[in-house]
Amino acid sequence: MEKLNVLDYEISTKNIDNENYVSLTDMLKAKDGDFLLADWLRNRNTVEFLGIWEIIYNPNFNYGEFAIIKSKAGLNNYKISVKEWVEKTNAIGLKATTGRYGATFAHPDIAFEFASWVSVEFKLFLIKDYQRLKEIEQKELGWNLNRTLSKINYNIHTDAIKNNLIPDIVTKKQIDIIYADEADMLNVALFGMTAGEWRKKNPDKDGNMRDYANVAELVCLVNMENLNSVYINEGISQKDRLVKLNGIAIHQMQLLTSDKRIQKLDNISNKQLIETK
């Protein structure tokens, strides 16, 4: 993620655990007066916010230490550093880096809360620029996904030429059926059942089997649909197409499920699905 630009202040970001953490050290420069991060951390409202955030997102949060810190927060003689907060409570929302260019970074939720302490105006412009960069990031992610899928498909097709293995998995009964819907024929070739059969087996699920397919299955399905169109134009019977496509599906799934790039895409897809629920 690029640097944020908020009221002419450059704010660094850092990817930590697949989240774009924001530099509190850079944001502190926009605060009127001579302040340290410890001044923000000693505030009782700050400690309560950080504690609640950690309770929600951090299963290893140290509640006992948090209670002790909370009881002292706000007292004139009490201060705590970011390093001490992290070490005592096992916090994950704040990250302090060391070295010449050391800085403190915070999860976006916490960074926005910190921005309120800087100024309301600063917070509003921070959110606006953060959203702008997230939109850019999402567009780049989509482009990279398409590019990765194209590379994977290229490997599938070149490997298929070298290793033409088509095991006969579909049953004779399935082969002899005339499928009124070409999509159902493809479902049988890849998933081993028609859409109707899947619904009977999964009455508690909405949608269809393709809605629950993983990335590897979806890539394979797109390839099969393209090949099926070619086979239809060549006049190949549905029965023969089913056998050929089933063999291709088996071969491609063997390649796809062992491809680390596909596994990575599946993890991204699952994460996005969880976030939207």
The sign of the dihedral angle between the CA atoms of 86, 88, 89, 90 is positive
User: What 3-state DSSP class applies to 22?
Assistant: strand
User: Do 194 and 256 share a structural domain?
Assistant: yes
Taking only the tens place, the pLDDT of each residue in 98-149 is 777 689 999 999 999 999 999 999 999 999 988 888 877 777 665 555 566 6
Domain assignment of residue 149, yes or no: no
User: Do 13 and 131 share a structural domain?
Assistant: yes
Domain assignment of residue 151, yes or no: no
Q: Which of 101, 136, 171 is the last residue of a domain?
A: 136
pLDDT for the residue numbered 121: 92
Domain assignment of residue 152, yes or no: no
Domain assignment of residue 150, yes or no: no
User: Do 100 and 46 share a structural domain?
Assistant: yes
Supply the pTM of this predicted model: 0.51
Domain assignment of residue 155, yes or no: no
* Contacts with 148 (C-beta within 8 Å, 6 or more apart), sequence order: 261, 265
User: Do 234 and 169 share a structural domain?
Assistant: yes
Domain assignment of residue 143, yes or no: no
Domain assignment of residue 125, yes or no: yes
Residue with the two structure tokens 């996904």: 145
Domain residues for 214? 163-276
User: Do 248 and 180 share a structural domain?
Assistant: yes
| The pLDDT of residue 273 is above 80 | no
Q: Which of 136, 155, 171 is the last residue of a domain?
A: 136
Q: Using a pLDDT cut of 90, give the percent of the chain over it.
A: 29
pLDDT for the residue numbered 65: 92
For the stretch 73-77, contacts whose Cβ atoms lie closer than 8 Å and that sit 24 or more positions apart, written own/partner, are 73/42, 73/43, 73/44, 73/46, 73/47, 73/48, 74/42, 74/43, 74/44
Taking only the tens place, the pLDDT of each residue in 147-166 is 666 556 655 554 543 443 33
| The pLDDT of residue 22 is above 90 | yes
Number of domains into which the chain is organized: 2
Domain assignment of residue 57, yes or no: yes
